[in-house]
Structure 1
Amino acid sequence: MSTRVRTALISTAGHCKVACGFCFRADRAHGFLDTATYTRTLSRLKEVGVEGVCLTGGEPTHHPELRQLVRLAHQFGMSVSIVTSARTVAEVVALSQVAHLLTNVTVSADSRGAMLAGRTTRSAASGMETLRAISTEVKILHLTCWGLSDGECEELADLVSQADVEVQFSPVVLDERALRRDGKSVQDYLVQQLIDAEVLGRHFHLSDRYHAYLGELKNLQFPVDGGERWLCRSATAYVSPDGHIRRCPYGQTSVSVDAPRSAIKQFLTAPAQDRVTPDCAAICRPSTTCDTAGAECAAPA
């Protein structure tokens, strides 16, 4: 049975200067998504019942036609959201110019330990500054977590409690190669995930879904019984900057937006053929309500 595709994550650029060490993006190249390809994509997605799009990157605020991308989606009757790492003045200005046209904006940030692991500078504090500068009705801070402390969580709780901002959490996803590079064992990694979840739980209301996701992630990354991974069940399609539609960013099968309408419809309505990987596990969930991968919506405890 196929999961109905209701939304689409659209990559506006094949490159990103942030270059997080744990980035979930599956494809990287130079250049931006061109307007003609994007328009054709919206038309084909609309025909199969897609109701909204989320613009991601690279960094969407770098796209020279960002306002046009947002307006085109509205012309097709679709809601639009954005996931961004915007921090510089130019990036925040570009975001603020379209913010009132968006259903929500998610600003990505990293815990202190995640910044070290991913070699980033996307702090929660700077992410909050970006959210304060825009006028979108729904504002979300998404924090990638690793090596959390009570002190850091207390600071974060104070930060978000003073603003009308939702907060989402997801754990850093590392493979065995990355663990070897950092001199960590599989056991070290799993223990740290549990510690981070425990620390978060002392300061934020986490649902059972977050803990269930950690269990799924463990089974996907380090299977003990050799069991086969389940088929993709994502309700969010993925569009790469070159105009290829997949059932998720890490899907091995795709269809070009230049293909016949019947071929695109068949691809998006037929049962998925790709199996879930650790990288896309958070997206390939039957009932994910957040636009951001691996997210758990939470509020300060």
Structure 2
Amino acid sequence: MSLPVRTALVSTAGHCKVACGFCFRADRAHGFLDLATYTRALSRLREVGVEGVCLTGGEPMHHPELRQLVRLARQFGMSVSVVTSARTVSEVITLSQMAHLLANVTVSADSQGAMLLGRTTRTAASAIDTLRAISAKAKILHVTYWDLSDAECRELADLVADTSVEVQFSPVVLDERTLRREGHSVQGYLVQQQLDAHVLGRYFSLSDRFRAHLSELRDLQSPTGGGVRPSCRSATAYVSADGYLRRCPYGQASVSVQAPRAAIRRFLTGPAQDRVTPDCAAICRSSSDDPSASCPATA
């Protein structure tokens, strides 16, 4: 049974210059979320009890009216979080100017193996530089990882040891087609996930919640898993950059924010129609008590 919707992931833009090869984004299109659509979405979400929003992208720092997006949500009595890949001077300045208005800021980074796989340059060290440059109530470093080494994990642990930054991890999630293109089998990929978790566990205290998340991902991706996938049980809704509400970023069922109020309420308060997939499990970590569920790391 789905949980009551309490938070919302908001796509501020349908495009991103980083363009990770393993990107979690459900929507890929040009254009930014406009203020009128966003305001209407906030109003409808607040009516069903949504308490906080997480602004993601694309890249939210590129939205021309980002500060107004933050202020509007706060005017509706909602807490606001941001997930970003901000690294350039202009992006960090934009983020720093509004950081005091945010409940938390998550800066995304990739392990060396993930950077090679996704053709990115988002190092953990540069993410920490961004977090050090801003004043936020809570700072989170989110690392997407693949093919971790002992030395890399040791360096990462040393990097965050003297900071107040919380560290979150997500394994790279790849579909079968991408695995074949990269020369990996599904079974080999699952073995690598276990090896990476083992190395991480030497340097970081992995919570039972995170281990349960890894177990769920393995079950969903296992070629012998079979059976019917569980129904969505996330308390996080999704707002696309073109103004559609979904219970899951990857869900097929949606309703426009321009629909009648009653239709939107039925959609958001009724049982979710979507099934859990590896992609959405990676975003939502569907447990209701997982703090990352209120601000999924997708940037």
TM-score using structure 1 length = 0.95
Give structure 1 stretches of 5+ with no counterpart: 296-301
Does 2:117 match 1:117?
Answer: yes
Kept after mapping to 2: 8 A contact 1:232/1:284? no
For residues 41-93 of structure 1, give each alpha carbon's deviation from its aligned partner in whole angstroms, at most 9, with x where no partner exists: 10000000000000000000000101100000110000000000000011111
Equivalent-residue separation in structure 2 for 1:127 and 1:96 (angstroms) = 14
Which of 1 and 2 has higher RCO (CA within 8 Å, sep 6+)?
2
Q: Identify the residue that residue 59 of structure 1 maps to in structure 2.
A: 59
Partner of 1:29: 29
Work out the CA distance in 2 between the residues paired with 1:54 and 1:223. Answer: 33
Deviations 1:88-130 (A, max 9, x none): 0111111111100000000000000000011110000000000
Identity of aligned residues (%): 75
Q: Mark the CA change 1:284 to 1:4 in structure 2 (over 3 Å): closer, same or farther.
A: farther
Letter in 2 for 1:17: K
The answer on whether the counterparts of 2:53 and 2:295 sit within 8 Å (CA) in structure 1 is no
Structure-1 residue corresponding to 2:250: 250
The CA RMSD measured in Å over matched residues stands at 1.3
SS of equivalent to 1:174: coil
Q: CA deviation at 1:178?
A: 1.0
Bigger shift: residues 185-194 or 129-138: 185-194
**CA distances 1:139-198 after superposition (whole Å, capped 9, x unpaired):** 000000111111111111111112110000010001111111111112211111011000
Give the 5 Å matches for 1:124-203. 124-203=124-203
Q: CA deviation at 1:2?
A: 3.2
Tell me how far apart the structure 1 counterparts of residues 28 and 196 of structure 2 sit (CA, whole Å). Answer: 30
The alpha-carbon deviation at position 223 of structure 1 amounts to: 4.2
Q: Does 1:50 align with 2:32?
A: no
Match of 2:266 in 1: 266
- 1:294, distance to aligned residue in structure 2 (A): 7.2
Check conservation: 2:108, 2:297, Cα contact below 8 A. Answer: no
1:216-235 correspondence runs (5 A): 216-235=216-235
Q: Show structure 2 runs of 5+ residues with no match.
A: none
CA distance in 2 between counterparts of 1:18 and 1:31 reads: 16
Contact 1:111 1:123 in 2 (8 A): yes
Q: How many angstroms does 1:210 deviate by?
A: 2.0
Structure 1 outlier segments of 4+, above 6 Å: none
Q: Give the CA deviation at 1:222.
A: 2.4
- Whole-Å Cα distance in 1 between the matches of residues 12 and 270 of structure 2? 26
Distance across 2 between alignment mates of 1:225 and 1:199 = 25
1:284 deviates by: 5.4
Residue 95 in structure 1 maps to residue 95 in structure 2: yes
- Which residue number corresponds to residue 291 of structure 2? 289
Query: As a proportion of its length, which structure holds more helix?
Result: 2
